[in-house]
Structure 1
Amino acid sequence: MDDQAMAGMGHNAPPPYDPQVVADLETRVRELSEAGKAWLALGAIETEENAEKLNDFLSQARQAHKQIEDHRKKAKQPHLEAGAAVDSAFKALTVPLTEIGTTLKQMLGVFVEAKRVEAERQKAREREEARRKEAEAERLRKEAEEADDAIALARAEEAQKSAKKASKAAAKDAKVNVSSASGGGRTMAERVSYTAKIDGDSNARRAFGFLLADPDSREPLIAEMERLASAARRRKDGPTEINGVNFIENRSIA
């Protein structure tokens, strides 16, 4: 098969919808668009007759919109079903890996936690040793100054520098990880994350005060409060007034 024939096969692939249906709907949309322009040209509705006729036109536009959406959903459904079949086939393969991976990561997490605890203990020993060295170096410095021994003083100052360096290293947080035995995997490390939980009204008020004063939290907090207040107002038995909230009345034709 030559290249031209191959190109022709690709270019002749049918669209994933019925072109005639789209063409018919397009004709209807153009008709409605032209009629809509005529209504727009009026600039304003001033008579009951025109209001009723415009209401009829909007009903036709809604019906056309629904018809288009119905055809769109119908044309899309086979593709959704095909996509669902693809997802099902491949997820059947990934689910076992996810499940075993979750369990094995928990096992590895226990090992890493034990490793972290030991590393923290080692850090504590290093900090204690650094404090001892600093105290000893300070003692030697004072003795050298009292004895007016320049050589001993120089040695004491070097000891102080070494002790401060050890103290700085010991002050760093302990870091633990698990490297790859083969070098082909990535190094895994313990990650720390936090999930907030607020118990009781008094704690909620304290947290609210902090978040309201926090520059990064204030706007999202107010936006969420506005959403909740709007939802409360829309409830059948919702409040008509909420302290601190100004309800803005929006009117529309439906």
Structure 2
Amino acid sequence: METTPAHSAPPRVLTIAGSDSGGGAGIQADLKTMLALGTHGMSVVAAVTAQNSVGVQGYWELPAEAVRAQFRSVVDDIGIQAAKTGMLASAELVETVAGLLAGVGEPVVVDPVGVSKHGDSLLAQEALDSVRTKLLPTATVATPNLDEVTQLTGVRVNDEAGLREAAAAVLSYGPRWALIKGGHLARDGADIGHGDEAVDLLTDGHEEHWLRGPRHDNRHTHGTGCTLASALAAGLARGLSVPEAAREAKEYVTGAIAAGFALGAGLGPVDHGWRLRGS
């Protein structure tokens, strides 16, 4: 009887985040990104959202017991080469996930999701302190946007120099690296980049890496933060250094933004499959 040869598994990445029913952000974006970058994505669902192109209509947290069970099922049997966190919703879930990740030796990317692209809150106010004191210390890299920097540290960034202050404030909570995403507020008047350029700062407090890319005039950018963090985790799982993984993630998400497409009546998603379509 002829048998099919077994293939070796690709690097494995675990996302611990919320589900986006519209498919543009959250766990759905994470898994698409992980596949596009040559890894096997796995998931721990921490919350379920009712979400579409015009906003978040509601969200429901899963019990901490369910989050813990999903994590143990994946990690204890399949194993991981990297993990990434996204929407965790409540202090209880933040602390549960932080406790689980504290026992993991692989790289961890923490995307401290606070609000959606539409401005809807995805994190209870009382959970902020748990993010600062419990979750951020587990991070190999933290990837806040400028709104999340302000939410967590009180620092408001208005120019490139302010990215250094933001990074220092985030690093003070314990992540090994901070990737401060500077593109988020440029359209609202902050002087980040040079008009047609989007710039992010990656630093561990000693070395700095300025990641620059073209700014694309495309409003369909839903899922950008989830996508960048997942791309970074995928690179780390494949053995890249943090700076190498960050550069690859920046390139991938820049292409995904350029190819973002209209969906529904509001903001469409970035295109996670842009390379497959030859964009």
Which interval holds the TM-score relative to the shorter structure? under 0.3
Per the normalisation by structure 1, the TM-score is 0.15
Structure of greater relative contact order (alpha carbons < 8 Å, 6+ residues apart): 2
TM-score by length of 2: 0.14
